[in-house]
Amino acid sequence: MPFRNPLKYLFGVAGLTLAMSVAAANTFPSEQIKLIVPYAAGASTDGLARLVGQDVAEALKQPVVVENHAGAGGTIAADYVKRQPGDGYTIMLTTDGILSVNPAIYKKLGYDSLKDFTPLSVAVSAPLVLAVRTNSPFKTAQEIIDYAKKNPEKLSYGSAGVGSSQHMAGELMKAMADVDITHVPYRGGGPAMTDLLGGHIDLMFVQSASAKELADKGSLRILAIGSPERNPQLPDVPTFSEIGLKGYDSDTWYGFNMPAKADPKVVAVLNTAIVNSLKKRREQLEKLGYAVVASSPEDMQKSVQQNIAKWRDVAKKAGIYQMQ
């Protein structure tokens, strides 16, 4: 029998769908949550994800199962997550590199950082420091800049690869100081550090916790920190702004997001659980070299938008914009 009023039927279906969506949001979560990590098990980011995941599971009274989808600079994990339903049962540990640097460098990505994901929170920031080996002739960052101005391409710095946070920190310094220092990419931060300590490269940007550990052992000298302000863990290390590079900020961050088109109520539940975990773990995370941010979803989205523009400008000056 045909429907006499198709509009009434359609509105009825829409209303039922909305009611079911609201009911689902009100009962969220009712099953386990997958937490996708874009790096291998055992990495520092994996540890961060598992700490927060444990607290989220306790708060929401549902298991949080970590799955590692490593490879291709985080793009494998991002492409997987974007194809999942935005129902809150798949979330991702993500990074500034995945969401901001990759779009600023690569012409073809399998995801759109601003359209394919729902932000949850910038969890922590990880300061990078400029370091040299202890027998280096350079005692300050200003000495490096002065030498580089007079001797273009004579100095070299290593990184974990093209587009890594270490690479972008170096290119940002070069652009702001107007110097030419040769970038030497490695297949990971470990090999780059080995060559720095062995005298094969002159300097390197290193995460502050790792650098402090090596400095305490007498292997490295830390010259400057890339954060806007001095770090309590390294109170005697000046910022780049203090030596004249006003506005320099190479901090990288780690956060959480989920697929697009998520219910705002589900987003609020997850954000609250994540932020409460970060506040609870603040002292523990700071000892690991992180600065706790615990942002709102809105602030995370703003950070991604701003950093895409920032890193795209740096990538253009470095000649690495829109690589294949």
Size of the chain in residues: 324
Using the predicted structure, report yes or no on whether residue 292 has a pLDDT greater than 70.
Answer: yes
Say which range, 17-21, 67-71, 117-121, 242-246, has the weakest mean pLDDT: 17-21
Rounded to whole angstroms, how far apart are CA atoms 250 and 230?
13
DSSP structure string for 151-176: STT--EEEESSTTSHHHHHHHHHHHH
Same domain assignment for residues 193 and 145: yes
User: What's the pTM?
Assistant: 0.85
DSSP structure string for 92-133: EEEEHIIIIIHHHHBS--SS-TTTSEEEEEEEEEE-EEEEEE
- Check residue 2 and give its pLDDT: 47
Residues 44-81 as b or e (16 or more Cβ within 10 Å = b): bbbebbebbbebbbebbebebeeebbeeebbbebbebb
- Check residue 3 and give its pLDDT: 43
**How many domains does the chain fold into?**
2
- Check residue 189 and give its pLDDT: 87
- Check residue 269 and give its pLDDT: 98
pLDDT in tens, 175-207: 999 999 999 999 888 999 999 999 999 999 999
98 and 38 Cβ atoms separated by less than 8 Å: yes
Same domain assignment for residues 76 and 161: no
Q: Is residue 16 part of a domain?
A: no
Same domain assignment for residues 168 and 255: no
291 and 74 Cβ atoms separated by less than 8 Å: no
Using the predicted structure, report yes or no on whether residue 6 has a pLDDT greater than 90.
Answer: no
169 and 205 Cβ atoms separated by less than 8 Å: yes
174 and 145 Cβ atoms separated by less than 8 Å: no
Say which range, 43-47, 66-70, 283-287, has the weakest mean pLDDT: 43-47
Q: Is residue 324 part of a domain?
A: no
In terms of residue numbers, what domain contains 86?
31-125+251-318
| Average pLDDT, rounded, for the chain | 91
Pairing of β 203-207 and β 33-37:
unpaired
Rounded to whole angstroms, how far apart are CA atoms 314 and 308?
10
Rounded to whole angstroms, how far apart are CA atoms 218 and 30?
52
Which one-letter amino acid corresponds to residue 258?
Answer: M
What is the pLDDT confidence band of residue 51, given thresholds at 50, 70 and 90?
very high
Same domain assignment for residues 286 and 305: yes
Say which range, 1-5, 51-55, 118-122, 130-134, has the weakest mean pLDDT: 1-5
Using the predicted structure, report yes or no on whether residue 117 has a pLDDT greater than 70.
Answer: yes
Same domain assignment for residues 217 and 300: no
Q: Is the dihedral of CA 22, 85, 295, 42 positive or negative?
A: positive
Domain holding 150: CATH number?
3.40.190.10
- Position of tokens 């995801």? 111
Peptide bond into 29 cis (omega under 30): yes
- Position of tokens 């429907």? 3
Using the predicted structure, report yes or no on whether residue 268 has a pLDDT greater than 60.
Answer: yes
The answer for residues whose C-beta is within 8 angstroms of residue 12's C-beta and 6 or more apart is none
- Check residue 197 and give its pLDDT: 97
Q: Is residue 307 part of a domain?
A: yes
Q: Is residue 227 part of a domain?
A: yes
Overall average pLDDT of the 214-231 stretch: 96
Same domain assignment for residues 167 and 216: yes
Q: Is residue 310 part of a domain?
A: yes
Rounded to whole angstroms, how far apart are CA atoms 117 and 213?
36
